[in-house]
Amino acid sequence: MSKPLLQVRDLVQKIGSQEILKGMNLDIYDGETLVLLGKSGGGKSVFLRHLIGLMRPVSGSILFEGEDITKLKERQLEPVRRKIGMLFQDGALFDSMNVFDNVAFPLRERGERNPAIIHQKVEESLARVNMRGHEKKMPVNLSGGMRKRVALARAIISPPNVILYDEPTAGLDPIVSDSINKLIRRLQAELRVTSVVVTHDMVSCNHIADRVALLNEGRIYFIGSTEDLHTNSDPTIRDFVDGRSGETIY
């Protein structure tokens, strides 16, 4: 395996008095798709936000290409963020712009002024996520799956080195979820990006993961392949994989 692109060391985060991450350690390798599993409210999304500098840890470090991004100021993070794309849980499309302008936004902000080039790149990006023909629609008129596709088109228009997915299949029906899973897999193959996917959807995990990590009680409890996950007999892992809560009905 290649060297780690992202190295997370002893990451601690508190929200109020609650410790969400309790010294998390994780290596993410160049070109892999790592799926981070864990209970709802367990700190998966919080962790993902640290990888792009949207949250600052209480302590610990995150090395990206050898640089500790937790030490960088907001404006110093901008070059890092140009290399990392993020798909938010509900897409986070700009609701004052139509689909075309949303996808063109990163290009325009990075100084591209030629309308022909912008048009060509937006069309290419929308074609990658099967959203051509919807350019003039406003985000409010899109379904959940379509919003995620457009947000993904926006994230990949200037191809990043890493894509972070926050619950990409949450709230979607199984068919749309499957199409999003295939899309993630296809983008990984076409763009050769490193992907970090936060989810609690086991179907999605089985479909897209090169490696799986399980976040439990603020720490990485398990890391390995999907086969290792399914054959592991640890009760905590089994409860999560088999979907058992441990609570009794009466």
Partner 1 sequence: MPLIGIFSNLYISFLSFLGQVAMLAGETILSIFCGRIRLRLVIQQIAEIGFGSQLVVIVTGAFTGAVFTAQAYFQFASLNMETAVGPVVALSMFRELGPVLTGVMVAGRVGAAMSAEIGTMKVSQQIDALRALAVNPVDYLVVPRALAMFVSMPFLVVECVGCGILASYYVGVNVLNISGVYFLANTQKFADSSDIIMALVKGFFFAGIIVFISCREGLRAKDGAVGVGRATTQTVVNCSLAILIVNFFLTMALNIIFPAG
| Site residues (vs partner 1, CB under 8 A) | 49, 52-54, 74-75, 77-79, 81-82, 84-86, 88-90, 92-95, 105-106, 109-110, 151, 154
- DSSP state string for 11-48: EEEEETTEEEEEEEEEEEETT-EEEEEE-TTSSHHHHH
Q: How near is the Cβ of 110 to partner 1 at its closest, in Å?
A: 8
Q: Are 198 and 47 in contact (CB under 8 A)?
A: yes
Task: Give the residue with the Cβ less far from partner 1, 88 or 100.
Answer: 88
Task: Give the residue with the Cβ less far from partner 1, 3 or 113.
Answer: 113
Task: Give the residue with the Cβ less far from partner 1, 80 or 214.
Answer: 80
Q: How near is the Cβ of 59 to partner 1 at its closest, in Å?
A: 22
Q: How far apart are CA 92 and CA 94, in angstroms?
A: 6
Q: How near is the Cβ of 1 to partner 1 at its closest, in Å?
A: 27
Task: Give the residue with the Cβ less far from partner 1, 112 or 210.
Answer: 112
The total number of residues written for the chain in this structure = 250
Q: How near is the Cβ of 57 to partner 1 at its closest, in Å?
A: 17
- DSSP state string for 73-109: -TGGGHHHHTTEEEE-TT----TTS-HHHHHHHHHHH
Nearest to 116 by CA among 128, 98, 132, 104: 104
Q: How near is the Cβ of 76 to partner 1 at its closest, in Å?
A: 11
Q: How far apart are CA 148 and CA 83, in angstroms?
A: 20
* Continuous segment of H or E residues that includes residue 121: helix 115-128
Q: Are 188 and 32 in contact (CB under 8 A)?
A: no
Task: Give the residue with the Cβ less far from partner 1, 102 or 226.
Answer: 102
Q: How near is the Cβ of 75 to partner 1 at its closest, in Å?
A: 6
Task: Give the residue with the Cβ less far from partner 1, 122 or 237.
Answer: 122
